[in-house]
Amino acid sequence: MGEPGTKELLSLEELEAAGSFRTGRKHILSILVENKPGVLTRITGLFARRGFNIDTLAVGPTDDETVSRITLTLDGAVQSIDQVTKQLHKLINVLKIRDLEPTDTMARELALFKISADGASRSEVMQVCEIFRAKIVDVSKRTLVAEVTGTQEKIDAFERMVRPFGLVEMARTGEIAIARGRAET
Amino acid sequence: MRAVDALMECLKAEGVEVVFGLPGGANLPTYDAFYDAGIRHILVRHEAGGGHAAEGYAKATGQVGVALGTSGPGATNLVTPICDAMMDSVPVVFLTGQVRTELLGTDGFQEADTIGITMPIVKHSVMIQHPLELPRAIHEAFHIARTGRPGPVVVDIPTDLSRADIPYEPITDVHLPGYQPTTDGNQKQIRLAAKALANARRPVMYAGGGTIGAAAELRELATSDRLPVTCTVMGLGSFPASHPQWLGMLGMHGTRTANYAMDEADLIVAVGARFDDRVTAKLSEFAPHAKFIHIDIDPAEISKNVPAHIPIVGYAANILPRLTAEYRALEPDPARLEEWWHRIDAWRTRYPLSYTESEDAEIKPQYMVQALYEATEGNAIVTSDVGQHQMWAAQHYHFDRPRQWINSGGLGTMGFGLPAAMGAKVGRPDETVVCITGDGSFQMNTQELATCAQNGIGVKVFVMNNGYLGMVRQWQELFWDRRYSQVHTGQYPDFVKLAEAYGATGMRLTDKHTLVEGMRQALAIEGPVVVDVRVAAEENVYPMIAPGQAARDMVG
Ligand SMILES: Cc1cc2nc3c(=O)[nH]c(=O)nc-3n(C[C@H](O)[C@H](O)[C@H](O)COP(=O)(O)OP(=O)(O)OC[C@H]3O[C@@H](n4cnc5c(N)ncnc54)[C@H](O)[C@@H]3O)c2cc1C
Ligand SMILES: Cc1ncc(C[n+]2csc(CCOP(=O)(O)OP(=O)(O)O)c2C)c(N)n1
Ligand SMILES: [Mg+2]
């Protein structure tokens, strides 16, 4: 559809139907890269060019100081993820890529929530924190800051619970992940 | 020594004979080093000309081309050649000047984020951060450009770093842990492929640009039996067009024989070809009966557009001889291909490439290419620009050897032809190098005529002058109700006078009866020559797979 140079008029519906939609399948890509300037831009550029939206992104050192690990999560059709992965492999500074199977993977995210908690609601908020094993790391007259770690889903759930009390702001790291068992990620 | 003198040593160690470029503030140190380095530098008139010349040199010789530009506008002028080299897998190292490090990111004079601008269109790029890194970065750049799937590498050098005094030790190894192309091909897969081929009754070999360095090996496999061969625009010459097993080019403007053979094939052996949309046409109806063996150095090409049944990753030149050996060992019965050849021969007889000849002296564009073939005895290196003339050149100049045909296929860059011819002639000075260009394309890098004249680079340019941006006109005629919008160029400029102003020889040919003779005269003139060939204005390129159609529905 939409061959360049042909006259056919394209309807918006047709165009949208032909576009790639979210499949609801989450991918966790773990990418080991040489610790060099510009590597992250090269990687994100390959996704952007294909219209992928990266949901979360975390970058940090590994046990080898010349190597960094990039963990990113996104949603996309298997076929096109496969093509991006192959293209990622072609980047000279990319050492290794794993498309982690969610069931065989330990994934964790850290989040900080600043929640309104004055007199009346304070104890209720603290109860929710306890259930989620969230740590209270700062308290002021009107607010408190809770630190939560866990899977994306757990943090989403915590957010739903505290939102009604008044969520002042929130910061999340994006997931990092490592393969279960003895296998190297 | 100065880092730039080390740079010269590195270039020499890489065997660089010639570079193409143009100086400016940020690469003044590099140019000072060129002054007495003993490396030939050709001063171009526009960095894009230098970039395409480096591509032409690389395509003609198989060596890595080198192009230089200063920071800012010098580097942005190189963007088109960099992208062109990426699309057509051409090994070129681009050396760009950059502002001094303390100015980086301050919108300093002639600062452009060269690495950022070119990031999506390079095989690799690096900005030098420390002068000691320079020698290694240069050797890595050549290694990356040349090996695996070839492509462009940009090395951006801040001017202060290039002036630093560094100890220079020759570097003999490169260490790139993230870059280890698979080159050999898996033996089990090769055996599987041989079996499939030995059992195929309607096989076709579909050879692309990746076979240019494996022409002998390709021919060996094809002729171990009577395997029919077709090539993409980029593969032309890797299998001789004069060979009886040649089907012609395939794709949008390929022969009916080649396209019908793909359409009915039961097995397609794709070698160094990337299933471009100009080849597959309507993807869902491409080669509906075929299984695919796909040989390619780039794993990302495997199953990108068409799922491969037997993928083999590696260099064609490594894989084809082993495939040939395995195939022969199976002693396939040649008689199984007889029926297939009957069918192919019938198509060949029924659908040769043809056009209606003019009744008067008017020159048909197809005839212009045939005449040039005759005048050059089919032996020239031919570069082309982009448009109708490119397709007619591909169809009617029958290429018998690899590296004889040099064009811009993937990006389709108008303005490629003349500088590419210049680079090819520099790399292959003993060969006749002609450029078949269009009146539109030629004007996109005409300035390089000055470079040719000044350096005695004897390229012969044949302008197929139809007074139109012909390829676009053809589409407007066929698919947009003949509403010719902004495609008429008239007879401007006067190419003969233009050539003379540049210090080249200008000629005009308008009569088909004296065309071959006129071309011979032009070819005999020393130095650069521009021949303005006036051709029929509204001729169309046929046959054609119309957009959105399948191969079997070719028209014309
Ligand atoms: C106006 C116009 C019309 C066109 N019409 C047509 C047409 O009718 N037909 C047509 O075919 N094209 C046509 N093209 C060109 C088209 O756009 C593509 O450039 C072309 O089809 C790609 O050729 P290719 O598949 O050989 O790939 P290339 O771009 O040449 O790529 C080479 C492939 O080989 C691989 N490779 C490289 N080196 C090796 C090696 N040593 N060993 C193994 N593999 C290797 C690479 O990884 C890559 O996959 C047209 C272009 C223009 C501008
Ligand atoms: C830089 C650039 N701009 C625009 C195009 C689109 N385009 C493709 S073919 C063509 C016409 C080329 O005209 P000419 O060189 O006279 O060749 P002809 O088709 O007439 O033989 C144009 C404008 C292109 N390929 N490259
Ligand atoms: Mg024209």
Domains of chain B plus CATH, in order, are: 3-162 (3.40.50.970), 187-350 (3.40.50.1220), 365-534 (3.40.50.970)
C-alpha of residue B160 to centroid of ligand 1, in Å: 41
Interface check for B351 against chain A (CB to CB < 8 A): the answer is no
Q: What is the C-alpha separation between B139 and B153, in angstroms, rounded?
A: 11
Residue B540: predicted pLDDT: 98
- B117 close to B87: Cβ distance less than 8 angstroms: no
User: What would the 3-class secondary structure string for A95-131 be?
Assistant: EEEEEECHHHEEEEEEEEEEEECCHHHHHHHHHHHHH
Are B68 and B21 contacting, i.e. CB atoms less than 8 angstroms apart?
Answer: yes
Interchain pair A5, B475: CB under 8 A: yes
Distance, CA B252 to ligand 1 centroid (Å)? Answer: 13
Helices (H) and strands (E) in chain A, counts: 5, 9
Q: Collapsing DSSP states into helix, strand and coil, what is residue B206?
A: strand
Residue A23 has pLDDT above 80, yes or no: no
User: Which residues have C-beta within 8 Å of that of residue B393, sequence separation ≥ 6?
Assistant: B369, B382, B384, B405, B407, B436
Q: Cβ atoms within 10 A of the Cβ of B322, count? A: 20
Whether residue A184 has pLDDT greater than 70: yes
Using most ligand atoms within 8 A of CB, pick from B435, B446, B471 the residue to mutate for ligand 2: B471
Neighbours of ion ligand 3 (CB under 5 A): B 438-440, 466, 468, 470
Contact between chains at A38 and B178 (C-beta distance less than 8 A): no
Out of B115, B178, B304, whose CB is closest to A92? B178
Residue A24 has pLDDT above 80, yes or no: no
User: Are A112 and A138 spatial neighbours (Cβ–Cβ below 8 Å)?
Assistant: no
Give me the sheet containing B433-438, strands edge to edge: B405-406, B381-384, B433-438, B460-465, B529-534, B505-509
Q: How far is the alpha carbon of B160 from chain A, nearest alpha carbon, in Å? A: 19
Q: Which residue has the tokens 């009604």?
A: A164
* Structure-block tokens of residue A69: 């690990």
Interface with B, mutate which of A3, A35, A95 (most B CBs under 10 A): A3
A33/B contact by beta carbon, under 8 A: yes
Mutate to test the pocket of ligand 2, among B52, B79, B386 (most ligand atoms within 8 A of CB): B386
A74 has pLDDT over 80:
yes
Structure tokens that stand for A38 in this block: 């510009």
Model pLDDT, residue A103 = 86
pLDDT of residue B75: 98
ipTM: 0.87
Residue in chain A closest to B482 (alpha carbons) equals A7
Distance of alpha carbon B282 from alpha carbon B157, whole angstroms? 45
| Helix ranges (DSSP H) in B37-78 | 47-61, 73-76
CA distance B195 to chain A (A): 28
Show residues of chain B in contact with A51, CB under 8 Å: none
B residues 168..207 contacting A (CB < 8 A): 176-179
For tokens 């309507």, name the residue. B282
Q: Helix crossing, B515-524 with B365-375: angle to 10°? A: 50
Give the residue from B409, B406, B426, B427 showing the smallest Cα distance to B417.
B406
A56 Cα distance to chain centroid: 2
Residue A81: which pLDDT band, with cuts at 50, 70 and 90? confident
* DSSP conformation class of B509: E
| Higher pLDDT pick, A16 / B48 | B48
Q: How far is CA B43 from CA B34, B49, B448, in A?
A: 12, 10, 10
Q: Do the Cβ atoms of A95 and B120 come within 8 Å?
A: no
The distance of Cα A95 from the centroid of its chain, to the nearest Å, equals 21
| A38 interface with B at CB cutoff 8 Å | yes
From chain B residues 97-116, the ones with a CB under 8 A of any chain A CB are 115-116
Q: Which residues are near ligand 1 (CB < 6 Å)?
A: B 88-89, 149, 208-210, 213, 232-235, 249-254, 272-274, 276, 278-279, 296-298, 301, 315-316, 386, 390-391, 409-410, 412, 471
Write the residue with the smallest CA distance to atom 8 of ligand 2.
Answer: B387
State residue B438's pLDDT score. Answer: 98
Q: Is the pLDDT of residue A78 over 90?
A: no
Distance of CA B184 to the CA centre of its chain: 25
Instruction: Locate A125 and state its tokens.
Output: 């908020």
| Cβ-based contacts of A37 with chain B (< 8 Å) | 127, 129
Contact A89 B300 (CB under 8 A): yes
**Nearest-CB residue to A90 (from B129, B177, B300):** B300
**What is the B408 CA–ligand 1 centroid distance (Å)?**
10
Q: Which residues pair with A172 in a beta bridge?
A: A111
Place of tokens 């007074």: B467
Tell me the sheet residues that pair with B126. Answer: B155
Task: Yes or no: say if B269 and B218 are a contact pair by the CB < 8 Å rule.
Answer: no
Q: Which domains does chain A have, with CATH numbers?
A: 21-104 (3.30.70.260), 108-179 (3.30.70.1150)
Closest in B127, B144, B298 to A92, CB measured: B144
Other beta carbons within 10 Å of A159 = 15
pLDDT tens digits, residue range A114-164?
A: 999 988 899 999 999 999 999 999 999 999 999 999 999 999 999 999 999
Contact in structure between B279 and B251 (CB atoms under 8 Å): yes
Give me ligand 2 centre to Cα B144, in Å: 32
Distance from CA of B304 to the nearest CA of A (A): 7
Helix axes B3-13, B134-146, angle to 10 degrees: 30
Q: Is the dihedral of CA A108, A112, A113, A118 positive or negative?
A: positive
The model's confidence at residue A4, banded by pLDDT at 50, 70 and 90, is low
Using a CB-CB distance cutoff of 8 angstroms, which residues of chain B are in contact with residue A14?
none
E strands in chain A: 26-34, 54-61, 67-75, 94-100, 105-116, 135-139, 143-150, 167-172, 176-179
Question: What is the Cα–Cα distance from A134 to A123, expressed in whole angstroms?
Answer: 14
Query: Residue with structure tokens 């929710």?
Result: A128
Ligand 3 mean position, distance from CA B457 (Å): 25
The percent of residues in chain A predicted with pLDDT above 70, rounded, is: 90
Q: Whose CA is nearest to atom 4 of ligand 2?
A: B414
The predicted pLDDT at position A20 comes to: 52
pLDDT at A51 over 90: no
**Pocket-testing residue among B441, B445, B465, B485, ligand 2, by greatest number of atoms within 8 A of Cβ:** B441
Q: Say yes or no to pLDDT of A21 above 70.
A: no
- Show the tokens assigned to B117: 């601008």
Rg (CA), chain B: 24
Read off the pLDDT of residues B291-317 as tens digits, 9 standing for 90 and up.
999 999 999 999 999 999 999 999 999
Contact state of B480 with A89 under an 8 Å Cβ cutoff: no
pLDDT at A77 over 80: no
**CA B289/CA B545 separation, integer angstroms:** 19
A92–B179 CB contact, under 8 Å: yes
**Min CA distance, A79 vs chain B (Å)?**
9
Interface check for B38 against chain A (CB to CB < 8 A): the answer is no
Task: For B278, name the nearest residue in chain A, comparing CA atoms only.
Answer: A3
Nearest-angstrom CA–CA distance, B87 and B410: 5
Distance CA A79, CA B307 (A): 11
Structure confidence at residue A96 as a pLDDT band (50, 70, 90): very high
What residues of chain B score a pLDDT lower than 70? Answer: none
Bridge-based pairing of strands A143-150 and A105-116 is: antiparallel
The maximal CA–CA distance of chain A, rounded, in angstroms, is 68
AA letter at A100: L
Give the model's pLDDT for residue A22.
57
- The structure tokens listed for B450 are 């000055």
What is the DSSP track for B113-137?
-HHHHHGGG-SEEEE--SGGGHHHH
Cα–Cα distance for residue pair B259/A185, rounded to 1 Å = 46
Nearest residue in B to A47, CA atom: B120
